[in-house]
Amino acid sequence: MTTPTPVAPTEGHPGAGHHVLRGVGVGRRAVVGPVAQVRAAPAVPADAAVLVDGVPADAAATRAALEAAFASVAAGLREQASRATGTVQEVLAATAQMAADNALRSQVLAKVDAGQPPVAAVDAVVAQFAAMFEAAGGYLAERVTDLRSVRDRVVAAALGLPAPGVPELHEPSVVVAEDLAPADTAALDLAKVLAIVTELGGPTGHTAIIAGQLGLPCLVRVTGATDVPEGALAAVDAAAGTLTVEPDDALRADVERRAARDAALAEDTAPGATADGHAVALLANIGTAEDAERVAGPGVEGVGLFRTEVLFLERTAAPTQADQAAAYGRVLRAMAGHKVVVRTLDAGADKPLAFATQPDEENPALGVRGYRLVRTHPELLDTQLAALGQARAETGAEPWVMAPMIATAAEARDFAARARAAGVRTVGVMVEVPAAALRAREVLAEVDFVSLGTNDLAQYAMATDRLRGELADLLDVWQPAVLDLVAATARAGAEVGKPVGVCGESAGDPLMALVLVGLGVTSLSMSAGAIGAVRYAVRHHTLERCRELAAAALAAGSAPDARAAVLALVADEVRGTLGL
């Protein structure tokens, strides 16, 4: 790994002379806080020995070290669980029970007593228990990931290595990792996470998306981030794409001013509309019922994207209809009659599921993912739609539902028939595949609405893997070809009189939001924290002005030129207030 080196900050940028690491920012916010490093599981050989004063321990000392490791891991997890809530508490409590399990510990110690090295003993017993859990299925099968987490923690504790995984956060911190799985990101203690910084990943990967959904500024592709010392003060600026180590007073004051500005914008809770009164619904993206309960309020007009795959992550079997109906019901109740758009399971590609992913796909992003799972696992979609129908009946609310990865009108017709048969009345599809955008009129003939997923639409239009951070420039939603596809879809919606929303992260960019409104998009869904700035930008421009901005973007020859052309036409007041 490289060591952070001083980089000359952008001219006029506070913090000159300090270590500045650059990456790709997700969002616009900036924060300052201490660094909390996420450690990978220890990579140690199976014959590694417990050391005492630098010398391999004898059998008795090795046994004692393992016993102490199991006890300390269990106690630490119980302590964390006692201070957590919701899903995080449940996961920690279940993992603590495994670390304290007498059978697991006894079998490891028996192997050590028989002369087996400690790491090999732990690996063998954990593998045996994991096989038993997977064979049993159900709840036990879902605990295999937790069991392996216990393995990593016990090995680290016995060998005196740093504990792996997301550390327990004692204060609001900047979480830094080589990379984070979406499930890890979703399980973070939000009360103590200021920002997420990773060395790998891309700006439209799902860890970045979940971070945005949670309202956290995020940086990806930050070389050297994992070498920043634990506890060092760092400023994360998602808009500038910078991580500044030990920022000076001027930079810290700048971050505070931006935070105050964002707080002031969030106080405006009026419905979204242009300066001349053209309504544009401003909605939130969520992944869990807890998200819905957190964002519900007068400033959010509903949910434009409920990413239901969070319910399926880290499981070895799909959640039951009853489990899903309970989660959907919580979201519908939390939003209290406001619009809720539920996206059915979008698994595959970078969101593999143990019970659904095709193991032999050479190009999973182009394979069996999203709606296409009906070809191999139709029961997953049918159960999910039945659960939505059940939630509708139990709450009296009317959910909207849409399918991801629809490519043809025939697929849209099939999905609509399945959804309506399950009792869901308002049915739509995602437009992420260029074919669906080019044939949007035919697709809209089969459904009630469409929603543009601009992250995947850019990936497929530009033939660029969204996880390849080094190709981020091609994934830019300002690319004229991507905007052409958005325009074609919005035009089709206007012609047939059906809503066309955008639920990709581009909706949360105030500049892009103006372009989308000008193209004819009727609703914008984004992380809840982005709504204030978007509302302000839209309110300070008429619909006609938004159309002029859209025309300028479409006429540009490149993504940077498109953004620059729009920025030059935006009202001075808006540029100044939003810091554009």
Computed over every residue of the chain, the mean pLDDT equals 85
Q: Categorize the per-residue pLDDT at 542 as very low, low, confident or very high, splitting at 50, 70 and 90.
A: very high
Question: 42-46, 194-198, 314-318, 419-423 — which one is most confidently predicted on average?
Answer: 419-423
Same domain, 207 and 176: yes
Is residue 10 a part of any domain in this protein? no
- Where would I find the beta strands (DSSP E) of 43-165? 51-52, 55-56
Question: 70-74, 78-82, 121-125, 408-412 — which one is most confidently predicted on average?
Answer: 408-412
Q: Are 451 and 305 in contact (CB under 8 A)?
A: yes
Is residue 375 a part of any domain in this protein? yes
Is residue 458 a part of any domain in this protein? yes
Give the whole-angstrom CA distance, residue 459 versus residue 80: 39
* Out of 40-44, 133-137, 228-232, 234-238, least confident range: 133-137
Answer with the one of 137, 159, 181 that is the final residue of a domain: 159
- Where would I find the beta strands (DSSP E) of 395-532? 400-403, 426-431, 449-452, 500-502, 523-526
**Which one is predicted more confidently, 179 or 11?**
179
Is residue 13 a part of any domain in this protein? no
The DSSP result for 161-183, as a single string, is PPPPBSPPPSS-EEEEES---HH
For residue 198, count other CB atoms closer than 10 A to its CB: 27
Distances 303 to 34, 213, 278, 332, 553 between C-alpha atoms, Å: 33, 12, 20, 10, 28
pTM of the model: 0.72
List the catalytic residue out of 18, 19, 377, 503.
Answer: 503
Model pLDDT for residues 262-285, shown as the tens digit of each residue: 888 888 889 999 999 999 999 999
Distances 566 to 446, 502, 554, 555, 575 between C-alpha atoms, Å: 35, 19, 10, 11, 11
According to DSSP, the residues that pair with 500 across neighbouring strands are 450
Answer with the one of 94, 127, 159 that is the final residue of a domain: 159
Same domain, 144 and 177: no
Model pLDDT for residues 88-118, shown as the tens digit of each residue: 566 677 778 888 888 888 999 998 888 888 8
Is residue 542 a part of any domain in this protein? yes
Is 218 labeled as catalytic in the residue annotation? no
Same domain, 136 and 194: no
Asked if pLDDT for residue 404 goes beyond 90, the answer is yes
* Out of 28-42, 129-143, 166-180, 534-548, least confident range: 129-143
Could you tell me the CATH number of the domain that includes residue 189? 3.50.30.10
**Which one is predicted more confidently, 417 or 7?**
417
Predicted local confidence at residue 35, as pLDDT? 94
CA 576 centroid distance within chain: 30
Give the whole-angstrom CA distance, residue 417 versus residue 428: 11
For residue 553, count other CB atoms closer than 10 A to its CB: 28
Distances 376 to 141, 371, 381 between C-alpha atoms, Å: 22, 10, 11
Predicted local confidence at residue 467, as pLDDT? 64
Is residue 99 a part of any domain in this protein? yes
**Which one is predicted more confidently, 540 or 347?**
540
Joined tokens for residue 113: 């007593």
**Which one is predicted more confidently, 38 or 146?**
38
According to DSSP, the residues that pair with 75 across neighbouring strands are none
Same domain, 439 and 345: yes
CA 561 centroid distance within chain: 29
Predicted local confidence at residue 492, as pLDDT? 98
Predicted local confidence at residue 16, as pLDDT? 38
Predicted local confidence at residue 225, as pLDDT? 93
Domain housing 145: 51-159
Of 294, 280, 318, 297, give the one whose Cα is nearest residue 540.
280
Is 206 labeled as catalytic in the residue annotation? yes
Asked if pLDDT for residue 186 goes beyond 70, the answer is no
Same domain, 101 and 187: no
Predicted local confidence at residue 245, as pLDDT? 94
How far apart are the two ends of the chain, measured CA to CA in Å? 34
Total structural domains within the chain: 3
Q: Categorize the per-residue pLDDT at 15 as very low, low, confident or very high, splitting at 50, 70 and 90.
A: very low
Same domain, 317 and 456: yes
Distances 193 to 19, 171, 287, 313, 544 between C-alpha atoms, Å: 22, 8, 17, 21, 41
Is residue 450 a part of any domain in this protein? yes
Angle at CA 423, nearest 5°, toward 421 and 426? 100
Q: Categorize the per-residue pLDDT at 6 as very low, low, confident or very high, splitting at 50, 70 and 90.
A: very low
Same domain, 31 and 78: no
Q: Categorize the per-residue pLDDT at 5 as very low, low, confident or very high, splitting at 50, 70 and 90.
A: very low
Is residue 495 a part of any domain in this protein? yes
Same domain, 545 and 566: yes
Q: Which residues contact 218 (CB under 8 A, 6 or more apart)?
A: 25, 26, 27, 195, 196, 197, 198, 207, 208, 211, 212, 238
Could you tell me the CATH number of the domain that includes residue 294? 3.20.20.60
Same domain, 446 and 467: yes
Asked if pLDDT for residue 181 goes beyond 70, the answer is no
Same domain, 273 and 253: no
CA 55 centroid distance within chain: 45
**Which one is predicted more confidently, 44 or 243?**
243
Span 370-384, mean pLDDT? 92
Q: Are 226 and 176 in contact (CB under 8 A)?
A: yes
Q: Categorize the per-residue pLDDT at 534 as very low, low, confident or very high, splitting at 50, 70 and 90.
A: very high
Same domain, 89 and 190: no
Give the whole-angstrom CA distance, residue 185 versus residue 187: 5
List the catalytic residue out of 206, 377, 540, 541.
Answer: 206
**Which one is predicted more confidently, 287 or 395?**
395
Same domain, 33 and 104: no
What percent of the chain shows pLDDT beyond 90? 48
Give the whole-angstrom CA distance, residue 215 versus residue 209: 10
Give the whole-angstrom CA distance, residue 177 versus residue 161: 17
Answer with the one of 261, 284, 315 that is the final residue of a domain: 261
Predicted local confidence at residue 535, as pLDDT? 95
Model pLDDT for residues 333-365, shown as the tens digit of each residue: 999 989 999 999 987 655 666 677 666 667 777
Give the whole-angstrom CA distance, residue 46 versus residue 506: 47
